[in-house]
Structure 1
Amino acid sequence: MRIFVVGGTGAIGRQLVPMLVASGHEVTGGSRTSEGVEQLRAQGARGVLLDVFDRDAVADAVAAARPEAIVHQLTSLSGGSPVENARIRREGTRNVVDAAKRAGVRRIVAQSISWAYEPGDTPADEATPLDTTAPEPRSVSVGGVTALEEAVAELDEHVVLRYGTFYGPGTWFAPGGFMADKLAGGGLPANDGVSSFVHVRDAARAAELALGWPSGAVNIVDDEPAPARDWVPVFAEAVGGPAPEATSGGAGWERGARNARARELGWEPEHATWRTGFFRQD
């Protein structure tokens, strides 16, 4: 299959592109930097320098690649800005979807998140509504996700992967990463807020499998949603940081998510829980 991976050098793209190449697919990857283009070529893909905010450039790149499917892994997480990440989900996704329509691409697999659901007391499944009435600043992120999911649904075949919080190489939760620094500075609370995690290799594997899944949203999370008072001390041990004292509190939307649908579709995480996965950073 001819596949265009938009965001081919991000945390997921770096894992996904070699998987797709190894499976025999003809892969084109987009990157915003020349270094990223060289990385894609080294992995056996065709690398394309691409600014996803340049509507015409996106259209030309997709038309030239003639993909049968697009895998959308665009994020803007390196700076930690929810505003920039929401922009890339709104504007970048719009450009990608319009380019796909123009080129006759019928299938898209797109990265979303599993913590955009409305507040609740139990982990969310895919039928749970998104938190579209959230106040600021949460409304920025949820609005970006909503725009992304609505845009990709315009294609006949569309799979939205609602990923858990990434950990593993190249993520915020890697040793020396953003969250390790936050922990060291005393800014990571061990409270009652519940999170769901997923290792980046498991996330990438889900994207490959989703090329053959029916349309719809699928939570891609591990088997153990957990409150921060449980997972933060384990993360601290894994990265060699100080474990904070457990506290109460947490937002209503911090509820985690269920992965039953993904398992029904044949996805099985290699790292079924963060309890052991945090100690695997390969």
Structure 2
Amino acid sequence: MRVLLAGATGAIGRQLLPLLLSTGHTVVGTSRSASGVAAIRAAGADAVRLDVFDRDATFQALADARPDAVIHQLTALGERRFDENARLRREGTRNLVDAAVKAGTGQIVAQSISWVYGPGAAPATEDEPLDASREGLVGPARALEEAAASMERHVVLRYGLLYGPGTWYSPGGWAEGELRAGRIAAGPAVSSFVHVVDAARAALLALDWPDGVVNVVDDEPATAWEWVPALAAALDVPTPPPSATPDRSGALALEAPASEAPASGALPVGREGWERGASNAKARALGWRPAHPSWRTGFPALTR
């Protein structure tokens, strides 16, 4: 299959590119930088320098590549540019989808997030509604998913919090600095994680999955009371004291636009109903088997 990998030099893209090539796919990777294009070519794929906010250039790139499928892994989260990331989900995805349809591409696999569900007592499943009360975060994700669903074939991957190489939760990453500064508290908010390599494997498998939404998370949603000390131990930084409430700067909320994030420091809040993690039962039923089924074993492996 001829695949256009949008975001081939991102955290997931770097893991996914060799998987696609090793399984026989022909890949055209995109990057916004000349150095990214060079890295893609060095890995053995074709490459194009592309900014998906440039609609005309996006149409031209897809017309030239004529892929059978697009895998959309574009974010601005590596640089923590949250407003730009929201724009990528809305405007960038729409440009990519429209260009793919025009080029005759029939399939898309797109990256979304698993903390978009409304409140509930148990880990969220794919048939539950999105949380309309958190428009700043959920709105752009909804726009991305709706754009993807307009294509003939589409799979939306709702990833958990990514950890591993190139992510916030890795040695030298954002979370390590926040832990050292005491700005991640161990509180009751529940999160679901997924190792970046397992996320990439899901994107590869999704080329053969039926249309729809799939949560790609590990087996064990956990409170910050549990995972924060484990991450601190893995990164060899001081463990923050437990708190009755989570620090909103610590995990999920800082993927929201800057206008919705705290200005600085810790902002204790009560556990919200949507802070409940997600279920991976559907992904497992489709044949996905994470090499890191729990953050409990995945975190200690970060520095090996």
The TM-score normalised by the length of structure 2 is 0.90
Q: How many angstroms apart in 2 are the aligned matches of 1:186 and 1:272?
A: 28
Aligned twin of 1:262: 283
Aligned twin of 1:49: 49
Give the C-alpha shift of residue 248 in structure 1: 1.9
Which digits, 9 at most, give the CA deviation of each residue in 1:88-116, with x for residues without a partner?
10011010000011011110000000001
Give the C-alpha shift of residue 251 in structure 1: 2.3
Q: Which amino acid aligns with 1:128?
A: E
Give the C-alpha shift of residue 280 in structure 1: 2.1
Q: Which amino acid aligns with 1:20?
A: L
Q: How many angstroms apart in 2 are the aligned matches of 1:78 and 1:268?
A: 26
Aligned twin of 1:209: 205
Answer whether contact 1:117 1:129 (CA < 8 A) is retained: yes
SS of residue paired to 2:301: coil
Answer whether contact 1:132 1:142 (CA < 8 A) is retained: yes
Q: How many angstroms apart in 2 are the aligned matches of 1:176 and 1:81?
A: 18
Answer whether contact 1:28 1:45 (CA < 8 A) is retained: yes
Give the C-alpha shift of residue 217 in structure 1: 0.2
Q: Which amino acid aligns with 1:277?
A: G
Q: How many angstroms apart in 1 are the aligned matches of 2:124 and 2:202?
A: 19
Answer whether contact 1:82 1:140 (CA < 8 A) is retained: no
Aligned twin of 2:292: 271
Aligned twin of 1:189: 185
Total equivalences in the alignment: 278
Answer whether contact 1:83 1:140 (CA < 8 A) is retained: no
In structure 2, the gaps of 5 or more residues are 246-270
1:242 to 238, 241, 262: 238
1:253 to 256, 263, 274: 274
Q: How many angstroms apart in 1 are the aligned matches of 2:35 and 2:301?
A: 27
SS of residue paired to 2:278: coil
Aligned twin of 1:11: 11
Aligned twin of 1:219: 215
SS of residue paired to 1:27: strand
Give the C-alpha shift of residue 133 in structure 1: 2.3
SS of residue paired to 1:271: coil
Q: How many angstroms apart in 1 are the aligned matches of 2:163 and 2:186?
A: 17
Q: Which amino acid aligns with 2:186?
A: A
Aligned twin of 2:23: 23
SS of residue paired to 1:99: helix
Q: Which amino acid aligns with 1:61?
A: A
Give the C-alpha shift of residue 79 in structure 1: 2.8
Q: How many angstroms apart in 1 are the aligned matches of 2:172 and 2:132?
A: 34
Give the C-alpha shift of residue 120 in structure 1: 1.7
Aligned twin of 1:172: 168
In structure 1, the gaps of 5 or more residues are none
Give the C-alpha shift of residue 82 in structure 1: 2.4
Q: How many angstroms apart in 2 are the aligned matches of 1:279 and 1:61?
A: 41
Q: How many angstroms apart in 1 are the aligned matches of 2:70 and 2:132?
A: 27
Q: How many angstroms apart in 2 are the aligned matches of 1:220 and 1:181?
A: 26
Which digits, 9 at most, give the CA deviation of each residue in 1:229-258, with x for residues without a partner?
000000000001111111223222111000
Cα RMSD (Å): 0.9
Aligned twin of 1:36: 36
SS of residue paired to 1:143: helix
Q: Which amino acid aligns with 1:171?
A: T
Q: Which amino acid aligns with 1:80?
A: R
Give the C-alpha shift of residue 119 in structure 1: 1.7
SS of residue paired to 1:130: coil
Give the C-alpha shift of residue 63 in structure 1: 1.1
Q: Which amino acid aligns with 2:114?
A: S
The TM-score normalised by the length of structure 1 is 0.97
SS of residue paired to 1:122: coil
Q: How many angstroms apart in 2 are the aligned matches of 1:24 and 1:14?
A: 17
Aligned twin of 1:70: 70
